[in-house]
Structure 1
C-alpha cells in the first residue's frame, strides 16, 4: 500500500472543515434571519477554521530575538495588490490594544467579512503565488488548489450581514481550537431539513429583493442627482437665453434709434442745403441785378461823358459841372466795385460752407453706415447664439423627458419590489406563526414524551414484577434447556448459525443465542459465579437490581 503525503491529508482535512464551517455558517445565518454579532458560535468557529487554513505551511522567519510565524505578513501584502484594502489595514493598525500580529490578522479577517470583500482580497493574494512563496512553503494550502477552492466558497458569505465588535485584548488572547461537535447532525436537524430548505429559500428571496432594492435606490438617487444637475443647467441656459434676448432687444432698439437719428440728421442737412441753395440763388440774382444796374449806370455815365465831352467842346463853362459829375460817377463806380467784391466774397464763403456741409454729411453717412453694419453683424451673431441656445434647450428638454421616463420606470419597479417585499414580509409573518406553532407542537410533544416516559417507567416496573413472577414459576417448574438441534437461528438477531457463528445457551432463560447477542456475564441465584447471559436477560436483571436498590 502506498502511503499518502501527510501534508496532502492535512490540506484535504482543512478543505473539508472549511466547507463544513462555511456551509453551516450560511445555513444557520439564513435561518437566524438578522445581522450576526461576534458572539455567534458558527461565526467564531469559521474564523478559527480560516486561521488554521492561513497558518498551514507558513514559513518560520528568524528575527533578532526569536522565531516569528504569523499570518499577518501575507494579509498585509493585500494592500499592495488591492488598493481598496488600504482602509482595512489602516483601521487595524489604529485599533487600540492590539499588541500581537496574530491579533491584527484576526481583526483584518473580521473587517473583511463585514465589508463582504474577503473572497476578493484572498483571490488577489492567491493569484500572486510568487509573492506568497516568501511566506509559505511549496506544499502549503494557500499555494495549492485547495486554497482556490476555499476562496471560491467564501463568495457565498456575501449574503451574510455581520456587525462585529473588534476588541484588541480579546483578539490577542483567543485560543483557536476547532469545535467538531457543531458539525455533528442530530435527528431533529435531519427531520426539519425540508423546513429549513424552505426557510432558506424565503430568506434568499428576501436578501435578493433587498439587494435589488438597494441597487434601485442607488440608481434612483443617481438619477435624481442627474435630474437636479440638468435642471440647474437648464435654468442657467434659460437665464443666458433671457439675457441674450434682452441684449438683442437692446441692440434692436439702439439700431432703431440710430436709424431715426440718421434720418433726422439727413433731413436737417437736406433742409440746410436747400436753405443755403436758396440764399446763394437769391444772392446771385441780387448780384446779377445789381451788376446789370451798375452796367446800365456805367453805360449812362459813359454816354453822359460822351455827351458832356461833346458839350465840352461847345462850352467850357459847363466843364466844371461835368467834372463834378464825373467825380460823382467815379465815386459811384468805386462803390459799385466794392459792393461787387463783397458780393463775390460772400459767394465764395457760401460755396465753402456748402462744400464743408457736404463733406460733413458724407462723413456722417459713412459713420452711420459702418455703425449699422457692425450692429447688423452683432445682431446676426446674437441670432446664431439664440438658435444654438434654443437647440441646446430642446436637447435638454428631450434628455429631461427621457430621464423622467426612466425615473417613472424605476419608480414602477420600486413599487413592484415594495409589493414583493410586502409579500415577503407577510410570508415571514406566516413563517414566524409557523415557528410559533412548531414551538407549541414541540412543547406538546415534550409533555407527551414525559407522560410516555412516566408510563414507560410504570410499565417497566410492572414488567419486572411479571418477570419476577415468571422466574418464580420457572424456578418452581424447572428451567427448559433448549437442545442444540432444535435451534437453527439466533432468537434475538435471527441470524443463521454456521461454523463462524456458533451457538451459546443463556444460563438464565435456557434459550440459544449467537456470541454477539449473549456476550454478557452476571451471577445468578443458581450459580454465584458470573455465567453467560443473553442481552434481554442482562437488561432485565440489571434493571431489577437498580430498582431493588434503596
Structure 2
C-alpha cells in the first residue's frame, strides 16, 4: 500500500502532479517524506499515550498496533519483488534476517521467530521479529546497524527506497525513544500471517489550531532536515577535500616507504658485506693470535736457552778466572824457568863450540864428553816432565818453541 499525503491545497497538488510528470523519482521522494512524517507521529503518540497509561503494553493496545503497521510500510517501501513459483513476492523478512549477521544479539530473536508455531509466511515472521525486538528494547540499534550496511540492503531494495535514503536513518534515530516503553506480547495464539496492515489516519487527524500547529511543526522539521542536508553536503565536500589531501599524503608516504625499503635493502647488503669482512678479519685475527702465541712460546724457549747460555758463560768465565788465579803464578815461574834454561842452553852451546875449536887434530884421542843433562835436546822433555808432575799442560807458545 503506497501513501500520498499533501498538506497543501489544490494548487500544491497540481504542482506536485507536474513535478511527478517531469521527474519520476519525485513520487518515491514524496512517499518517503510521508512515511517519515507518519513514523514521527506514530512514535510520538505511542510514547505519550504509553507514559500516560503507566503500565506494560500488550498486543491489543491500538497505538502500538498502528506503530507496527507504519513500520511495516516503511520496511516495504521500495522493496524488490522476488520471483517464486506462485508469482512475485515482496517480503521484508529477508532484510531483517541480515541483522543477526551484523549484531550477534539479534540471533536470539531470529531463532525464536523461526521456532514459533503457526507462522507460515515471511510476512508473519517479519511482524513477529519487530515485536520481539521492541520487547528486547533493541529495535533502534538493530535498524541502525541494518541501515548502515547499504551494500547489503541493495540486494533487497531499490536505490531510492526509504531504507536506502536519509529518511531511514532519521526513523532509526526516532526509535531510540521507544526504549522507555515496556511491552509484552504473547504471539503463540496470534495470527500474524493474515493481518491486514492498514494505517488509521483518524488517530492523527486534528482540527482547528491543533492541525495548523502540526502542519507548522512539520514545516519546521522539514526546514531543519533541509538545513541538515545542506550541512551534510558541505561536510561531504570538506570530507572529499580532506580525502584528496589524505590521498596525496598517502602517496607521499608510500614514496617515502619505498625509499626506506630501498635504503633498508642497501643497508642490509652493506651489513652483510661488513659481516663477511668482519668474519674474515676475525679469522685473520685468530690466525695471528695463534702465531703470536707460538712466537711467544718460542721466545720463552729462546729466553730460557739464553739464560742457560748466559749462566754457562758466567760459569766458564768464573772457572777461567779461578784457573788463572790458581795457575797464573805457576805459569809465570815456569816461564821464568824456561827462560833460564834457554839461557843455559845458549851458554852451553857456546862452550861446546869453544871446546870444539880447542880439540887436538890428528890421532889425538879425544875424551868422550858426557852428555849434558841441560842440553837443548833434553830441555823440552825435562820441562814437560816437570809440568806433568805439577798437573799443568804445556802452553802452546812453549810447544812451538821446542818443536
Q: Where on the TM-score scale, by shorter chain, does this alignment land: which range?
A: 0.3 to 0.5
The answer to which structure, 1 or 2, has the higher relative contact order (CA under 8 A, 6+ apart) is 2
Scaled by the length of structure 2, what TM-score is found? 0.45
Scaled by the length of structure 1, what TM-score is found? 0.33
